[in-house]
Amino acid sequence: MREALIIIWEAADRICGKRLNSVLPDLVDAMERHGHLELDPEVRKRLLLVSASTIDRLLSEVRRRAKPRKKRRMLPKKVSKQVPVHTFADWDNPAPGYLEIDLVAHCGGSMAGTFIHTLVATDVCSGWVECVPLLAREQSLVVEGIEVIRRQLPFPMLGIDSDNDSAFINDTLLAYCEKQGIKFTRSRPFRKNDQAWVEQKNGAVVRRFIGYERFSGVVAGQALAHLYHALRLYVNYFQPSFKLREKRRQGSKVSRSYHKPATPYSRLIAHTAVDSMKKESLRLQRMQVDPVELLHRIRDNQAALAAMVSPEDSTNGPGRKSLEQFLAQLPKLWLSGEVRPTHRKNTPKPRGWRTRKDPFKEVWPDVLCWLQGEPDATAKTLFERLQQDHPERFTDGQLRTLQRRIKEWRQIMAKKLVYICIDEGSEHGEIGPVGADSDRAVV
């Protein structure tokens, strides 16, 4: 019976026991009818009474030898499993050198195509910020950007904490951190609060100075690099920030207390873990940099970035002036409103076209005739008259459109009457020379 079952199983294309059990009587009958199978009556009887589990049991060894199981290859451990999780509560006043990193996309609201990313690194202890533009979101470029940041930092890089972006969680960055002796951790998925330090700088530094427009290409990357070169000195030496001291929760209410605002430079100078030679180097650089000159350079680079988005407005603003002109206009610069070229909006042009079909186009001549006969007639009276003459054509919601149309027509007619009076008076010599005061009096 087992030999017969093997033949039938092969003829059924090696289907499972449950499927073979349901089709077994028809398959045996068909194979016998066409002369492919000749069974002993006792074997045939037992074969037709076999259950699905018995079929699987009898064919188990046959299946194993017919299709041997492939040797399972040991897969390497996922990188995310090798990078430990670090939450916001795990920061316990670390020394300078432990940074949070993140990517800011300059996509203009659309993630399609290629665009520039900014790699932002923030020191948890001091708030020191470093930004590097990346032409593409690629793990080898991320490593290059981190290496640039490591060389620019005034203290050794001891650790980095990133989100779960694949641009960070990969073998390339993991191998780099192991080679440089940098502690590599990651935040919990979908928990932005675990990276509160760098998330705050994304808005207060990158978005504040760059904005939300789309930038792509080598030229825009170079402009961003020049802007960040001046921005890192301006922010780290002259832009104080708050630092959380304590957070308490009482029921649903959360109260926070902060340290006195201080610049990253001040926090590094006051920290005991920073080497004295590093402090002296920071003081020397602090004495050399000019905050107004840095701000002028920032505005100049912002104007260059704005010109890539809207070339028609590229010549406006303080960024296109010399340093002396920039200093001279600082007392009254607030009168011009938004001074950051990357955040100025183009002046909207008045719309001179209709977005909907004019519902009164065909009956407007009739309305004008009614107005000539009854100049004091209200728009509501004329609208009711239109509804009577054209039933089911005008709805009550169109009354406001007719009121606005009649109001514009009456203003035009009133101006024509005023100019007629001026012309008639000038013909009879009743009106003197026309000047600014006379125009204002007539209006």
Distance CA 197, CA 299 (A): 26
Confidence class for position 107, pLDDT limits 50, 70, 90? very high
Question: Residue 125: its pLDDT value, please?
Answer: 92
Question: Residue 434: its pLDDT value, please?
Answer: 41
Distance CA 400, CA 414 (A): 21
Question: Residue 185: its pLDDT value, please?
Answer: 93
pLDDT (tens digit per residue) in 156-215: 999 999 999 989 999 999 999 999 999 999 999 888 888 989 999 999 999 999 999 999
CATH placement of domain 79-245+269-318: 3.30.420.10
CB 160 within 8 A of CB 174: no
Question: Residue 338: its pLDDT value, please?
Answer: 80
Confidence class for position 431, pLDDT limits 50, 70, 90? very low
Distance CA 84, CA 35 (A): 68
Non-local (6+) Cβ contacts of 199 within 8 A are: 102, 192
Q: Within the chain, which residue ranges are assigned CATH 3.30.420.10? A: 79-245+269-318
Question: Residue 199: its pLDDT value, please?
Answer: 92
Residue 354 has which token pair?
């209709």
Distances (CA, A) of 370 to 365, 383, 386: 9, 11, 11
Confidence class for position 149, pLDDT limits 50, 70, 90? very high
pLDDT (tens digit per residue) in 229-261: 999 999 999 999 888 888 888 888 989 898 889
Decide if pLDDT at 332 tops 50.
yes
Confidence class for position 442, pLDDT limits 50, 70, 90? very low
**Could you tell me which residues are beta bridge partners of residue 102?**
120
Q: What is the number of residues in the chain?
A: 443
Neighbours of 230 (CB within 10 A): 20
- Nearest partner of 301 among 417, 215, 388, judged by Cα: 215
Stretch 140-145: mean pLDDT, rounded?
94
Decide if pLDDT at 50 tops 70.
yes
Element (H, E) at 18: helix 17-33
% of the chain exceeding 70 in pLDDT = 89
Decide if pLDDT at 334 tops 90.
no
Non-local (6+) Cβ contacts of 239 within 8 A are: 263
Question: Residue 88: its pLDDT value, please?
Answer: 86
pLDDT (tens digit per residue) in 57-103: 988 888 888 776 666 555 456 788 888 999 888 888 899 999 999 99
Decide if pLDDT at 148 tops 90.
yes
Decide if pLDDT at 425 tops 60.
no
Neighbours of 279 (CB within 10 A): 16
Distance CA 388, CA 179 (A): 87
Confidence class for position 151, pLDDT limits 50, 70, 90? very high
Stretch 416-425: mean pLDDT, rounded?
64
Decide if pLDDT at 218 tops 90.
yes
Q: At 118, is the secondary structure helix, strand, or coil?
A: strand
DSSP secondary structure string for all residues of 153-214? -SS---EEEE-S-TTTSSHHHHHHHHHHT-EEEEPPTT-GGGGHHHHHHIIIIIIHHH-S-B
CA 337 distance to own-chain centroid: 26
Confidence class for position 426, pLDDT limits 50, 70, 90? low
308: amino acid identity, one letter: M
Question: Residue 122: its pLDDT value, please?
Answer: 95
Decide if pLDDT at 365 tops 60.
yes
% of the chain exceeding 90 in pLDDT = 36
For all residues of the chain together, what is the average pLDDT? 84
